[in-house]
Amino acid sequence: MLLNIPKNFPALKLLAKEQFSISDLIQTKKDAKPHIKVAVLNLMPLKVDTEADILRIMSNSPLYIHLDFIYLESHIPKNTPIEHTREFYKSFSAIKEDQYDGFIVTGAPVELLDFEEVGYWTELETVFDWARQNVTSSLYICWGAQAALHHFHAIPKYELKQKLFGIYPHTLTDPSFPLFRGFDDVFYVPHSRHTTIDKKDILKHPDLTILSETDDTGIYLVADTSRSEFFITGHSEYAPMALHKEYVRDMEKGLDTVGVPYNYYPHDDATKSPLVLWRSHSSLLFTNWLHYFCYFSTK
Q: Which residues are catalytic?
A: 142, 235, 237
Distance CA 50, CA 248 (A): 18
Give the Å distances, CA to CA, from 88 to 8, 24, 49, 129, 292.
9, 19, 14, 24, 28
Q: What is the DSSP letter of 265?
A: S
Answer for the pair 243, 165: CB distance below 8 angstroms, yes or no: yes
Burial class (CB in 10 A: 0-12, 13-18, 19+), 86: exposed
Query: What residues are paired with 70 via a beta bridge?
Result: 41, 90
